[in-house]
Amino acid sequence: MAAPKSCALWSYCGRGWSRAMRGGQLLGLRSSWPGAPLNARLLSQEKRATETHFGFETVPEEEKGGKVYQVFESVAKKYDVMNDMMSLGIHRVWKDLLLWKMRPLPGTQLLDVAGGTGDIAFRFLNYVQSHHQNKQKRQLRAQQNLSWEEIAKKYQNEEDSLGGSRVVVCDINKEMLKVGKQKALARGYRAGLAWVLGDAEELPFDDDKFDIYTIAFGIRNVTHVDQALQEAHRVLKPGGRFLCLEFSQVNNPLISRLYDLYSFQVIPVLGEVIAGDWKSYQYLVESIRRFPSQEEFKEMIEDAGFHKVTYESLTSGIVAIHSGFKL
């Protein structure tokens, strides 16, 4: 695991305690820093700030991972149907827009972290396969003198139909990965797809390995967001791209009010009726409100070493897509 960048951590402390409180998450000070404000030094010496949030609850940092694991272990089988019910299918549009923004080239090696049941991975494979086949058709039409056998051979090898592109789905939860693998089998996805059990905070991959790193609706659940961002930077090749689709801040007061009413009055009820798990969906809607705003998260991505960091808010800011590059 890449050691936290002292400059980034220092700039956290250097910009004062409030910066370390970003998104309501009390970031643990790992050592009393000579330059840190007095109250931060006292806190780090007397009582390490090792608390974080689990929805609106404050919990010891070491407990959050287990609680999040239980949430997704519980909802895994109903995860996909709940997404459609809660968002009336709009989450599919958000994920399609993520792929449209990605526009992967042939041969792209994608790491989809917190990939769960594979929604992003399947979209990636569909995208690269359709673009590769369209390119192949254009090339074949340009070569009038090919024999039938030569044409048939070009269409036969599925591996080739991906143009060398590959996607690795990495997730910490066995049940979510199990549902994803079942979906892949049912939909006929075989080539170019791998499933890896792993933690976003400590990825089981070498440095400089992937062209694109995506994380969709996952980073909100991670205990140490800064560590996950640093791991994303580590495993990307120079020139690689980071893309994050996550819930964000609604700025329109009316929509924000309606969204809150819908979130806290309807979604947990849907969670209980459909998934038999009111608490996990209460966690969902609370965790959304505890996540940093678009601008704050942009700064966190920059602190992790990414450049040209931008974001695009969708559906009045209910979600946002953040993008950055490892240069």
* 255 belongs to the binding site for ligand LIM22CUA (CB under 6 A): yes
**Distance (Å, whole) CA 297 – CA 302:** 9
Instruction: Check the CA dihedral 151-154-158-162 and report its sign.
Output: negative
Positions that interact with ligand SAM (CB under 6 A): 68, 72, 113-117, 119-120, 171-173, 176, 199-201, 216-218, 221-222
As measured in angstroms, the least distance from the Cβ of 33 to ligand LIM22CUA is: 34
Q: Which stretch binds ligand LIM22CUA (CB under 6 A): 18-26, 84-92, 148-156, 163-171?
A: 84-92
Q: Which stretch binds ligand LIM22CUA (CB under 6 A): 20-28, 149-157, 231-239, 256-264?
A: 256-264
Q: Which of residues 299-318 bind ligand LIM22CUA (CB under 6 A)?
A: 315, 318
Looking at the Cβ atoms of 9 and 172, the one nearer to ligand SAM is 172
Give yes or no for a contact between 20 and 12, defined as CB atoms under 8 angstroms apart.
yes
Looking at the Cβ atoms of 154 and 183, the one nearer to ligand LIM22CUA is 183
* 83 belongs to the binding site for ligand LIM22CUA (CB under 6 A): yes
Q: What is the DSSP letter of 5?
A: P
**Distance (Å, whole) CA 74 – CA 68:** 10
Query: 118: phi > 0 → left, psi -120 to 50 → alpha, else beta; which?
Result: left
* 108 belongs to the binding site for ligand LIM22CUA (CB under 6 A): no
Give yes or no for a contact between 120 and 153, defined as CB atoms under 8 angstroms apart.
no
Bridge partners, 244 (sequence order): 215, 322
Binding mask 195-224 for ligand LIM22CUA (x = CB under 6 A): ----------------------x-------
Contacts of 295 (CB under 8 A, 6+ apart): none
**Distance (Å, whole) CA 312 – CA 317:** 8
- Nearest CA to 12 out of 43, 47, 37 is that of 37
Enumerate binding residues for ligand LIM22CUA (CB under 6 A).
Answer: 71, 75, 79, 82-83, 86-88, 90-91, 217, 255, 258-259, 261-262, 265-266, 280, 283-284, 315, 318
